């Protein structure tokens, strides 16, 4: 099925939402999730193309308890420099029966460390393809901050390209590339410099970056993991950094993403929303993210336990040579 058919099947009989409506929805959801503000660039949701105000994150240094399971010695059955298949990866992770979030994240870190990687050129692009669940456009414009409507919200294919030098960003819209160039026609979009990204190889480096981002451009570590095509050691460091954060828990509720049983790992924000990364239960590969109410919203809010506010499936992440490439 081509891109236009997918969009028609997703949004008919309503017209597709305008770029402004999409941005309002994202801004509203970001406001729901953001802590106390300070001036900086911040990435949390995909396709952020504006200057935002957001918050510093308190960096915790207490390391999570790794007790409760017997670790096994990692090995790479495929040989040095080769990526094992999913069955091999699942059979040789550090914790065969992870007992807590820290152990799941250590398994995820080990898994990405088996990936092959070649450093990209400044003129190459990060290509990220996702399926994002969205409300019908008419409802979304009226209630951009609302929960996803059961039976009415549908997945939409999202394709983005970001040039490694941070000067070009593009999305696929109605079957055509919508290209932005940094600084042209008053356009400025948030982009963490690649020179910053490649430094994030340890939890300590990430903690420092959270307080001292290059050029004032900062993305939450979990957002980097889902929106950037990262070197394996950077992804591994992000997972180990998250394992050190207070309140990181495994959501015991079963999650199924397009036939893939998933483990939800995250923290509760605003007292009732669980902000989660979703990992494959067998391979510990990152396969998506979601924002779900795990308690009723207090006060005058209308959020109810079980309400789903965001759900994204990560389909493909790759370094490509030019705009429009997907492999």
Q: Tell me the CB-side half-sphere exposure of residue 116, using CA atoms within 13 A.
A: 10
pLDDT-based confidence at residue 299 (cuts at 50, 70, 90): confident
**What percentage of the chain carries pLDDT values higher than 70?**
72
The β-bridge partners of 156 are 132
pLDDT greater than 70 at residue 325: yes
Predicted pLDDT of residue 144: 87
CA distances from 264 to 50, 125, 179, 248, 274 (A): 29, 29, 34, 10, 9
Is-contact 129 316, C-beta < 8 A? yes
Strands 53-54 and 38-39: antiparallel
The token pair at 108 is 């995820």
pLDDT-based confidence at residue 223 (cuts at 50, 70, 90): very high
pLDDT greater than 50 at residue 15: no
Cα separation, 212 vs 287, in Å, equals: 29
Strands 154-163 and 168-173: antiparallel
pTM exceeding the 0.95 threshold for the entire prediction: no
pLDDT-based confidence at residue 17 (cuts at 50, 70, 90): low
Q: Tell me the CB-side half-sphere exposure of residue 168, using CA atoms within 13 A.
A: 17
Cα separation, 62 vs 65, in Å, equals: 9
Give the residue from 284, 241, 249, 287 showing the smallest Cα distance to 93. Answer: 284
How long is the chain? 327
Strands 41-43 and 217-219: parallel
Strands 249-257 and 217-219: unpaired
Mean pLDDT of 275-288: 94
Give the residue from 99, 161, 101, 164 showing the smallest Cα distance to 129. Answer: 161
Give the residue from 153, 231, 197 showing the smallest Cα distance to 43. Answer: 197
Predicted pLDDT of residue 28: 47
- φ, ψ dihedrals at 251, nearest 5°: -80, 120
Average pLDDT, the chain: 78
Strands 286-293 and 273-280: antiparallel
pLDDT greater than 60 at residue 320: yes
Say which residues have a Cβ less than 8 Å from residue 288's Cβ, sequence separation at least 6.
257, 262, 277, 278, 311, 312, 313, 314
Predicted pLDDT of residue 179: 95
Say which residues have a Cβ less than 8 Å from residue 116's Cβ, sequence separation at least 6.
81, 82, 83
Mean pLDDT of 298-304: 80
User: Bigger pLDDT: 35 or 277?
Assistant: 277
The token pair at 66 is 């790794």
Cα separation, 242 vs 106, in Å, equals: 10
Cα separation, 4 vs 179, in Å, equals: 18
**What percentage of the chain carries pLDDT values higher than 90?**
59
Segment of 47-61, 246-260, 303-317 carrying the highest mean pLDDT: 303-317
The lowest-confidence range among 73-82, 101-110, 236-245 is 73-82
Predicted pLDDT of residue 73: 33
Q: What is the pLDDT of residues 206-222, one digit of tens each?
A: 999 999 998 888 999 99
């Amino acid at each position: 099925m081509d891109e236009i058919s997918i969009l028609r099947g997703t949004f008919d009989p309503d017209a597709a939402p305008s770029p402004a409506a999409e941005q309002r929805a994202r801004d509203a959801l970001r406001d729901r999730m953001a802590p106390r503000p300070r001036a900086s660039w911040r990435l949390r949701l995909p396709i952020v193309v504006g200057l935002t105000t957001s918050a510093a994150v308190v960096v915790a240094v207490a390391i999570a308890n790794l007790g409760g399971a017997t670790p096994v010695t990692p090995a790479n059955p495929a040989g040095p420099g080769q990526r094992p298949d999913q069955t091999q990866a699942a059979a040789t992770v550090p914790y065969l029966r992870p007992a807590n979030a820290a152990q799941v994240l250590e398994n995820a870190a080990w898994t990405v460390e088996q990936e092959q990687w070649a450093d990209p050129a400044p003129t190459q692009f990060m290509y990220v393809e996702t399926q994002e669940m969205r409300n019908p456009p008419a409802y979304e414009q009226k209630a951009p901050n609302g929960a996803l409507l059961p039976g009415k919200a549908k997945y939409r294919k999202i394709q983005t390209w970001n040039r490694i030098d941070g000067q070009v960003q593009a999305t696929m819209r109605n079957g055509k590339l919508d290209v932005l160039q940094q600084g042209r026609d008053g356009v400025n979009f948030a982009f963490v410099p690649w020179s910053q990204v490649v430094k994030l190889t340890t939890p300590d480096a990430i903690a420092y970056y959270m307080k001292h981002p290059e050029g004032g451009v900062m993305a939450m570590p979990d957002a980097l993991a889902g929106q950037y095509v990262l070197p394996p050691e950077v992804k591994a460091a992000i997972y180990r950094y998250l394992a050190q954060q207070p309140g990181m828990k495994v959501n015991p509720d079963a999650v199924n993403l397009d036939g893939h049983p998933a483990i939800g790992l995250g923290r509760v924000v605003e007292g009732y929303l669980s902000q989660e990364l979703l990992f494959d239960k067998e391979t510990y590969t990152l396969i998506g993210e979601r924002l779900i109410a795990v308690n009723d919203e207090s006060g005058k809010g209308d959020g109810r336990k079980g309400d789903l506010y965001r759900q994204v499936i990560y389909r493909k992440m790759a370094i490509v040579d030019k705009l429009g490439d997907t492999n």
